[in-house]
Amino acid sequence: MIEKLMNIDRRIVFILVGLAVIIPSLLSVSFPITVSQPTRSTYDYIESLPTGSTLMIGFNYGPSSLAELHPMAEAVIHHCFQQKVRVIGMTLLPDGATLGDDMLRKVADETGAIYGEDYVYLGFRPGATQVLLGMGTAIDSVFEADYAKTPLAEIPMMADITNYEQIDLVLDLASGSSTEWWIVYTNTRYNQQIAAGVTGVIVSQMYPYLQTKQLIGLMPGLLGAAEYEKLIGRPAKGTEGMSIQSFAHLLVVGLVILGNIAFFIQRRQAE
Amino acid sequence: MWELIGIWLAALLTLCIFSFLYRDNPFYRFAEHLFVGVSVGYGIVLTVHQGLIPFAWNPLRDAFTQQQWIGLVKIIPICIGALFFARLFPAHGWLIRYPIAILIGVGSGLAIPNVMRADIFEQVLGTLTPFAQIHAGELDPFQIFGAILMLLGVISTLTYFFFSVEHRGVVGGVSKIGIVFLMIGFGSAFGNTVMGRVSLLIQRVDFLLADWLHLI
Amino acid sequence: MRRQVPLILCFAFGIVMALTEFSPHRFSQWLNKEVIDWTLVIGPFALVLAIATLIQTHWTRIRRRSEYWQYSFLVFIGMIVMVVIGIPLGQRHPVFVWLFRYVQVPMDATMFSLLAFFIASAAYRAFRARTLEATLLLAAALIVMIGNAPVGDLIWNTIIPFGDNLPSAARQWILDNPNLSARRGIILGISLGVISQSIRIILGIERSYLGGVEGD
């Protein structure tokens, strides 16, 4: 029996995982979200920005991480447009280029934000750290035109934005090392304030930067999106996803406990 | 119309990939290889339109069409970059070392001062600052415990990675404490990774049930 | 020419970047900016390396009729379709965006969502409290998983009359304390490694980036 339980076909586990996600999705369950301090810090910082401030968002993720970071981007951009904070979008990864463009346009359509006045999308430039350093001197030395190839000189919003000095906060939405690049090359060198929203896989490694204030805030994966949605009072994909997530987490916890019980029984029998 | 076709295509490709859960099969291999090709093609287009054209082509074009002759200086890095094409000619393959050497040299030169400041000075400062706060009487007992725990954790973790000394006696004991911290750190990373991976699945299930089948 | 010049280039560019980072002098800042601009031009050409390697790999598979060689044609088809549409029409053209949205996105997202299944299976099979270290890892992972799930707080608050939202608070404490210490130790270790490796590269002690290319 125990032997059987321990050598169960992995496809049975797969079916359980599938059901743990599909059933709650169909039932549209919803649980209350507790907001963590790092997410609240990000929200508070943006909330405290005066009208006309500028936030730069790095869409540094591809389709493989959009499930975690797209809802976060949506919530933060909504908040910015509500607060009349201007948004500049850009990415250091080619995969993020279309995603960032789509997301900014989606939220702009919903809120009535105007391109070139309330937000600008610069798109992608290869070179990562050199792109970050180049923007420190002049953004238009790296992005001489926006994603639609309109010269920055012709975009009204960019008239008074030259480099990081006019950017009040950088929010890096990252699935890889980009947050470390922003910290090392823009926070350190240009004293740029940075917040991050990162995938679950890398969130643990960001905490040292949070304690040193090299990051002023941190949003952890889909949970971060749900927390931010709660703070702006606009539940969306993050909140929905985290409620479903609960069942999958309970399943994994249950599986680990079951596996260990079986393991200890088997060990005792062997002894 | 095109959106509907797109959703059906996306759903079929999603199912092709999910079919791998049963076992490796031609549908999965079809989607896997198509994915590699499309991703690379997308990367090429973005790098050309958002990299080569603005950085290399436009300055040269402006130099000739608008007599901005300063743009001709860009010919030097363009020629160096073009040496990457030497990869296509085996006899001259060694030429790609020139641009690689420059990129690596610049990257290394930039890393030394910036990494030192951001990842060493700031991190050491972050570890010690709470003790100044303790001295100033700004921390409560729980925070003082946290500060001591942090110092112990950082020192013991570093000791664990210090392989120049044999891990015996005091060093061995401290490095064992380091393992404790590392294990808790990795455990928390695992817990967060589960959240990340499940999030991806939730999004795909949401796409299939809502956008494709309209069940929710 | 083949080894010495790249080493000299690497040294020169590395030293220039490291030194100009420290100097606020106008010339120094201009030089720093100019070199960064150069690398922005050189960098995108590295795309040639990626494409050449991919084509070579799959062409070799087709030529040798390796297992599943037929699928390599799909790689070329996917790549060519994206390039043929994207290069002349641009990255914002509706057809190119359609292909990205309905072909690349679903496959990429689904591919990674498979990991949700595998991570659950691996947790069941391999996550055992065999030793003290493994137990710590397991306990931290479980606390973080429960703390991450909103249902964790809900169950706790319903059953236990004290310690409101304890699961999420416990998760946050683990991340803010032992996890932070362990990660800081790792960051310090990696940073020291990055700096020493950068110095070795600039000084020409570390030469592995020169590789053993054809025509050497």
The predicted-structure confidence for C101-156, as pLDDT tens digits, reads as follows 999 999 999 999 999 999 999 999 989 999 999 999 999 999 999 999 999 999 99
Q: What is chain B's pLDDT, residue by residue, as a tens digit (216 residues)?
A: 899 999 999 999 999 999 999 999 999 999 999 999 999 999 999 999 999 999 999 988 888 888 777 778 889 999 999 999 998 888 898 999 999 999 999 999 999 999 999 999 999 999 999 999 999 999 999 999 999 999 999 999 999 999 888 999 999 999 999 999 999 999 999 999 999 999 999 999 999 999 999 998
Residues 62-81 of C with CB under 8 A from B: 68, 71-72, 74-81
In a domain, C137, yes or no: no
Tell if the CB–CB gap between C79 and B37 is shorter than 8 Å.
Answer: yes
Q: What pLDDT band is residue A48 in, cutting at 50, 70 and 90? A: very high
Nearest to A243 by CA among A2, A16, A26: A26
B74 near C CB under 8 A: yes
For residue A123, give the chain B residue with the closest CA: B50
β strands within chain A, DSSP E: 54-60, 86-91, 119-124, 169-174, 194-198, 217-220
Q: Are the CB atoms for B156 and B177 separated by under 8 Å?
A: yes
Residues 225-264 of A with CB under 8 A from C: 226, 242-243, 245-253, 255-256, 258-260, 263
Output the pLDDT for position B73: 83
Is 70 exceeded by the pLDDT of residue C211? yes
Q: Does residue A221 share a domain with residue A91?
A: yes
Contacts of C77 in chain B (CB under 8 A): 34, 37
Q: What pLDDT band is residue A1 in, cutting at 50, 70 and 90? A: confident
Q: Which of A44-58, A132-146, B60-74, C196-210 has the lowest mean pLDDT?
A: B60-74
Q: Which is it for the CA torsion A44, A47, A50, A54, positive or negative?
A: positive
Q: How far apart are CA C113 and CA C117, in angstroms?
A: 8
Output the pLDDT for position C216: 54
Q: What pLDDT band is residue C3 in, cutting at 50, 70 and 90? A: confident
pLDDT > 90: percent of chain C: 87
Q: How far apart are CA C56 and CA C38, in angstroms?
A: 29
In a domain, C157, yes or no: no
Is 90 exceeded by the pLDDT of residue A151? yes
B210 near C CB under 8 A: no
**CB neighbours of residue C132 within 10 Å:** 12
C194 near B CB under 8 A: yes
Q: Are the CB atoms for A192 and A217 separated by under 8 Å?
A: no
In a domain, A162, yes or no: yes
Q: How far apart are CA A120 and CA C98, in angstroms?
A: 22
Q: Does residue A171 share a domain with residue A189?
A: yes
- Identify how many contiguous H helices and E strands chain C contains and give both numbers: 10, 0
Interface contacts B/C by beta carbons within 8 Å: 421
CA distance B93 to chain A (A): 23
For residue B163, give the chain C residue with the closest CA: C189
Range of the domain at C43: 1-89
pLDDT > 70: percent of chain C: 98
For residue C109, give the chain A residue with the closest CA: A64
In a domain, A240, yes or no: no
In a domain, C12, yes or no: yes
Number of domains composing chain C:
1
Report which residue type is found at A258. L
Contacts of A223 in chain B (CB under 8 A): 195
Q: Which is it for the CA torsion C59, C63, C69, C70, positive or negative?
A: positive
Q: Does residue A86 share a domain with residue A212?
A: yes
Q: Are the CB atoms for A161 and A167 separated by under 8 Å?
A: yes
Number of domains composing chain A:
2
Range of the domain at A259: 2-27+253-270
Q: Are the CB atoms for B86 and B92 separated by under 8 Å?
A: yes
Contacts of C97 in chain A (CB under 8 A): 98, 102
Tell if the CB–CB gap between B198 and A249 is shorter than 8 Å.
Answer: yes
Query: What is the CATH number for A63?
Result: 3.40.50.10160
B97 near C CB under 8 A: yes
Those chains having 3 or more beta-carbon pairs within 8 angstroms of chain B are: A, C
Residues 150-209 of B with CB under 8 A from C: 150, 152-158, 160-161, 178-195, 197-198, 200-201, 203-204, 207
Output the pLDDT for position B72: 81
Contacts of A256 in chain C (CB under 8 A): 123-124, 127, 138, 141-142
In a domain, C125, yes or no: no
B63 near C CB under 8 A: no
Contacts of A97 in chain C (CB under 8 A): 91
Encoded tokens for A213 = 């204030």
Condensed to tens digits (0 to 9), the pLDDT of residues A84-95 reads: 999 999 999 999
End-to-end CA distance of chain C: 11
B17 near C CB under 8 A: yes
Q: How far is CA C216 from CA A197, B83, B116, in A?
A: 45, 15, 36
CA distance B103 to chain A (A): 10
Domain boundaries, chain B: 140-216
Task: Give the predicted TM-score (pTM) of the model.
Answer: 0.94
In a domain, A20, yes or no: yes
Of B6, B30, B123, the CB nearest to C187: B123
Nearest to B150 by CA among B181, B173, B174, B171: B181
Tell if the CB–CB gap between C50 and B17 is shorter than 8 Å.
Answer: no
Q: Are the CB atoms for C85 and C99 separated by under 8 Å?
A: yes
- Supply the DSSP string of A113-127, one letter for each residue: --BTTTEEEEEE-TT
Tell if the CB–CB gap between C148 and B195 is shorter than 8 Å.
Answer: yes
Q: Are the CB atoms for A143 and A123 separated by under 8 Å?
A: yes
Q: Quick check: helix, strand or coil at residue A213?
A: coil
Q: Which helix (H) or strand (E) holds B192?
A: helix B169-206
Output the pLDDT for position C163: 87
Q: Does residue A176 share a domain with residue A50?
A: yes
In a domain, C17, yes or no: yes
